[in-house]
Structure 1
């Protein structure tokens, strides 16, 4: 009995000695915040270094900017020949096409083929011509991406096609870093990849991680907080980049099916088991619109969402409970 009591006391002291350690670093062209709960700074630093190495490895695999990546080779061989890739990249592309089918093309990794005719740096003063918009998406279409599971090869059917992982890559990297840290023994933490956030474990204090839901009408304030335990949270919003033309506001989130900016929604927050899925769905629901997007989320097991429409009205799926700020 005394031995059990001593073990329990030691476990309690260890738990009390744990605290979160955070490091901020630029990875994949974005701000990453890596938080791990550890008993000392040396252990936290070692775990964080492992996470950074894993994220860097993934960036080299999926980057379309690195001429030596397998993704760049797929794009170079568009319309010419299939490219054999490793199993990890093949599986990511396979899952991406599955999300495209799930969202009726609102998510599409071949968006990288689009001509960038919309400018959100203040230089755009008029709507682009309709024929230019149509031409900008002429080579976009996930149906034109051929996969051969026997050889792990990827073929883009048309010359000029490109794939990119801007809508799913950071989420995937966050998931991989989380899995690595959990396997290494980190009891709790958060990987925040510029808003693509995934959590595990319970922080010191015994309560789940708390995630603030930004008010897109005033991003200096939050609607409230939502407790998040072993889940991912991703928000897509139009409050960062947009242009106003003829009195109408157009977001930087472009519908890959039409070439036009999405309208009617200010922000979408998705809660999912994986950051990869939450990342892809957040943008997809934004593109799909309020009714279709909310309906689609409700049909997916394990997925929850919060949508703020263009009038600032907040909609949530059934299982979401926000602790509102007063």
Structure 2
């Protein structure tokens, strides 16, 4: 389990305290995009819950086939060949959102950072990798996504878990369920808990120190920590790397938003930005709020 994943599990720990009900909560646990995942469903009988959970497993597998950085996926194919013909609608949607977050954060969120991340993680000279960075060199069209420079590579680790959370939320709503907790690296609270209160989330640092609390009712929460996972020889670097060359400014950033993918991308970027820049970025996304900054 990565330290970053530990943060989101801590954030979800206070979420379930349902009142006594005729139909008990139904819970699913599994893995998605390399992390542990959990879904708590209220108001469903056992048969309906099992049927929905099977559909969720299929949806998560489909998203893995698009955005996994390590298993065979649309993303690994793009990174290997520099092009992806006729990308799926979900792939185009995530590229579109990534571009918007990149622009709003003045480049702090940049999926093209992957070659630099690998060089630093492996203790290699980062200078050659810096020449491969730049979202402007990602060409996106319905017919093809192309990386303009040989050697470029992308990572969506700062946004894909949120995207998976959003897709599962859509599936759950379409099935007619309105009171659900979804934790797929980022958290979405749909409706309310069994006692009628909003889902409650405690936001904590990796050492367990609580820094904030927030209620979640039809809103998503994403938590990012620059030092949540350590990389490089001796683990001397935080895993959130600024492609522009600046060090991380904050130990933790937490964002709530109507979309988990948006909250995910913004929280990742906010670890690297000053308060003025964060405030300017938030103004471009109605409904997005800063929940914690430490």
TM-score normalised by the chain length of structure 1: 0.76
Unaligned runs of 5+ in 2: 1-19
Alignment counterpart, residue 240 of structure 2, candidates 234, 248, 253: 253
Cα shift at 1:27: 2.1
Counterpart in the other structure of 1:74: 78
Cα shift at 1:58: 0.8
Taking structure 1 as reference, are residues 107 and 239 closer, same or farther at Cα in structure 2, changes over 3 Å only? Answer: closer
CA deviation map 1:55-78 (0-9, x unaligned): 1111112224334x3323322332
Counterpart in the other structure of 2:215: 227
* Count of residue correspondences: 273
Q: In the TM superposition, what are the counterparts of 1:183-198 in structure 2 within 5 Å?
A: 183-194=174-185, 196-198=186-188
Distance 1:43 1:204 in 2: 18
Cα shift at 1:257: 2.2
Q: In the TM superposition, what are the counterparts of 1:100-115 in structure 2 within 5 Å?
A: 100-114=102-116
* 2:199 paired with 1:209: yes
Taking structure 1 as reference, are residues 84 and 290 closer, same or farther at Cα in structure 2, changes over 3 Å only? Answer: same
Unaligned runs of 5+ in 1: 1-14, 310-326
Counterpart in the other structure of 1:270: 255
Taking structure 1 as reference, are residues 255 and 41 closer, same or farther at Cα in structure 2, changes over 3 Å only? Answer: same
Counterpart in the other structure of 1:21: 26
Distance 1:169 1:82 in 2: 18
Alignment counterpart, residue 135 of structure 1, candidates 128, 135, 157: 128
Q: In the TM superposition, what are the counterparts of 1:1-326 in structure 2 within 5 Å?
A: 16-67=21-72, 69-78=73-82, 83-114=85-116, 116-119=118-121, 132-149=125-142, 151=143, 153-194=144-185, 196-214=186-204, 216=205, 219-242=207-230, 250-258=237-245, 262-298=247-283, 300-309=285-294
Distance 2:219 2:287 in 1: 10
TM-score normalised by the chain length of structure 2: 0.83
Contact 1:269 1:305 in 2 (8 A): yes
Counterpart in the other structure of 2:11: none
